[in-house]
């Protein structure tokens, strides 16, 4: 579950590509169309509000084609919830924004999807939304409540993960980035704290490496979100609208927050879920 188009590719693109290629049913639920996103290409900066949201909807479809994901949905349908903007802005007070949504109401919509799809694994953000964005925080709240509602209705999701990034990996990647920055199309580097979900390595319970093919699919999916993401040649770095270079991580990391781990650090999110059953 993700807040806006592009979040899924940046956070979970390689994971989604791997499991889609392996034949698993991958379902993406996106909460808003990102109508308040800042647009990078000058030729597209005329897009605002609903026009930007519709454009980003097409970008999302293109990204999913790159990842091989066929089942992607908007929570409650297109336009049900609007982008809330960054934390502390007046946009947060818009009654139509996702931040203002009733959590139980939104969770019931997600629970309907869960009961239809009956997933073995759900991936969401942590309670801070990874970096404090109101839509990401709300997505976490809605996802976790939907897990409860679905279980009450008969389906227990065996494993729930949140997106993470190990501090040692992120730190090493930024050392390389600073060394290579003169050859990149970006003037400045972001910093470790700009990466969502960075935690001490010991909190990581799973890492998913889909290999070169899935890494390339992730980069292509990110590039499909052209209004929001610029991927540098070589597909090792990218920047958002702030024009600060960040590492593009081909291996993705998770922390298990519900369910039983299989081993100290899993390499398969579905490990141990073969016996998933309906709740009596």
Tokens for 213? 């093919």
3-state secondary structure of 148: helix
Residue 189: beta bridge partners? Answer: 245
- Taking residue 174's Cβ as centre, other Cβ atoms within 10 Å add up to 19
91, 36 contact by CB (below 8 A): yes
Question: Which tokens go with 48?
Answer: 């605002």
- The answer on whether 58 is annotated among ligand-binding residues is no
- b/e 56-94 (16+ beta carbons within 10 angstroms → b): bbebbeebbebbbbeebebbbeeebbbbbbebeeebbeb
Helix (H) or strand (E) holding 121: strand 121-124
As a dihedral over the C-alpha atoms of residue 246, residue 247, residue 250, residue 254, rounded to 10 degrees, the angle is -70
DSSP line for 212-271:
HHHHHHHHHHHHH-TTT-EEPTTSSEEE-TT-EEEE--SEEEEEEEES--SSSSBS-TTT
Is residue 275 annotated as involved in ligand binding?
no
- Cα–Cα–Cα angle for 124, 263, 121, rounded to 5 degrees: 30
55 known ligand binder = no
Output the known binding site for Zn(2+): 4, 7, 136
Output the known binding site: 4, 7, 136
């Amino acid at each position: 579950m993700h807040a806006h188009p592009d979040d899924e590719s940046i956070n979970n693109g390689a994971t989604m590509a791997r499991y889609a290629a392996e034949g698993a049913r991958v379902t993406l639920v996106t909460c808003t169309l990102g109508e308040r996103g800042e647009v990078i290409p000058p030729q597209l900066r005329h897009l605002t509000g609903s026009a930007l949201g519709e454009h980003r909807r097409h970008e999302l479809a293109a990204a999913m084609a790159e990842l091989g994901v066929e089942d992607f949905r908007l929570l409650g349908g297109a336009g049900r919830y609007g982008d809330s903007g960054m934390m502390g802005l007046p946009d947060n007070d818009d009654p139509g924004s996702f931040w203002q949504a009733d959590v139980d109401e939104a969770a019931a919509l997600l629970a309907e999807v869960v009961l239809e799809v009956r997933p073995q694994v759900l991936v969401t953000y942590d309670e801070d939304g990874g970096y404090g964005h109101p839509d990401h925080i709300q997505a976490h709240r809605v996802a976790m409540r939907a897990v409860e509602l679905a279980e009450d209705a008969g389906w227990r999701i065996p494993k729930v993960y949140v997106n993470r990034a190990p501090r040692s990996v992120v730190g090493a990647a930024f050392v390389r980035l600073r060394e290579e920055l003169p050859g990149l199309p970006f003037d400045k580097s972001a910093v470790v704290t700009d990466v969502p979900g960075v935690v001490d390595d010991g909190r990581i319970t799973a890492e998913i490496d889909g290999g070169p093919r899935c890494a390339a699919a992730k980069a292509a999916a990110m590039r499909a979100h052209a209004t929001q993401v610029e991927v540098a040649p070589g597909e090792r770095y990218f920047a958002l609208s702030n024009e600060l270079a960040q590492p593009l991580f081909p291996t993705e990391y998770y922390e298990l927050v519900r369910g039983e781990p299989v081993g100290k650090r899993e390499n398969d999110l579905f490990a141990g879920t073969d016996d998933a059953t309906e709740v009596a």
